[in-house]
Chains A and B, each alone.
Chain A
Amino acid sequence: AQTVTQSQPEMSVQEAETVTLSCTYDTSENNYYLFWYKQPPSRQMILVIRQEAYKQQNATENRFSVNFQKAAKSFSLKISDSQLGDTAMYFCASTTSGTYKYIFGTGTRLKVLA
């Protein structure tokens, strides 16, 4: 069975600093995708970044990057130069080949402090 675990319910970071959100997953599949979604107070879920499991290179999107450790089944999100607008709930998710299901973690609530 596919599982996604986020062990940090809440985190805070000072504006302009760097923060890392943790996510671990479990799957027996070789082909899978991993995602980080952001849900601000407006409720709109927005894709932050995604990683293809077959790619060794970590995905980056501007201030957002991941540390994908395939052997450890770890997929952490690093936010550099944190901004007040980064305050949101962050969800880690995964999906595997041969399935339509996306499994979400329970989320980490991030607060960026001025």
Chain B
Amino acid sequence: GAGVSQSPSNKVTEKGKDVELRCDPISGHTALYWYRQSLGQGLEFLIYFQGNSAPDKSGLPSDRFSAERTGGSVSTLTIQRTQQEDSAVYLCASRTGDTPYQETQYFGPGTRLLVL
């Protein structure tokens, strides 16, 4: 596709259940980011991938959060034993990865997660 896609668009789950969020970056983009946007807040950095490697996982809020990327393309963000405070919009972004600070990130439409 032409842009970054994310699925599902919306997810409602019960507290304690696990969820998987998917991001499909722009073809050829080697750099991929996950952000969390809580209601009325800015973007909170979660994790960054360069290819399949995640050199910076420092933004993951707890060990319940994990992410992986395979084949240098699709990434999944997994939240185990979800809590109500995990409710937020999870945004994925990608860029080409050639020259970090010169590049524009392109965002997906996000997944809105609601934990009941």
Binding site for B on A (CB under 8 A): 31-33, 35, 37, 42-47, 50, 52, 91, 95-102, 104-107
Contact B42 A100 (CB under 8 A): no
Binding site for A on B (CB under 8 A): 31, 33, 35, 41-43, 45, 48, 50, 55-56, 89, 91, 93, 100-102, 104-110, 112
Q: Which residues of B contact A45 (CB under 8 A)?
A: 91, 93, 107
Distance in angstroms from B22 CB to nearest chain A CB is 16
Contact A97 B107 (CB under 8 A): no
- Given contacts A100-B31, A106-B41, A43 and B100 within 8 Å (CB-CB): no
- Given contacts A50-B104, A91-B43, A102 and B33 within 8 Å (CB-CB): yes
Q: Which residues of B contact A42 (CB under 8 A)?
A: 109
Q: Which residues of A contact B31 (CB under 8 A)?
A: 100
B41 nearest in chain A by CB position: A106
Q: Which residues of B contact A98 (CB under 8 A)?
A: 100-101
Contact A44 B107 (CB under 8 A): yes
Pairs A–B under 8 Å by Cβ, sample size 18: A33-B101, A35-B104, A37-B107, A43-B109, A43-B110, A44-B107, A45-B93, A47-B104, A47-B106, A52-B102, A98-B100, A100-B31, A100-B48, A100-B100, A101-B48, A104-B35, A104-B42, A106-B42
A98 nearest in chain B by CB position: B101
Contact A95 B109 (CB under 8 A): no
A100 nearest in chain B by CB position: B100
Contact B101 A104 (CB under 8 A): no
Q: Which residues of A contact B109 (CB under 8 A)?
A: 42-44
Contact A99 B104 (CB under 8 A): no
B31, B43, B110 — which one has the most chain A CB atoms within 10 A of its CB?
Answer: B43
A37, A52, A100, A101 — which one has the most chain B CB atoms within 10 A of its CB?
Answer: A100
A46 nearest in chain B by CB position: B107
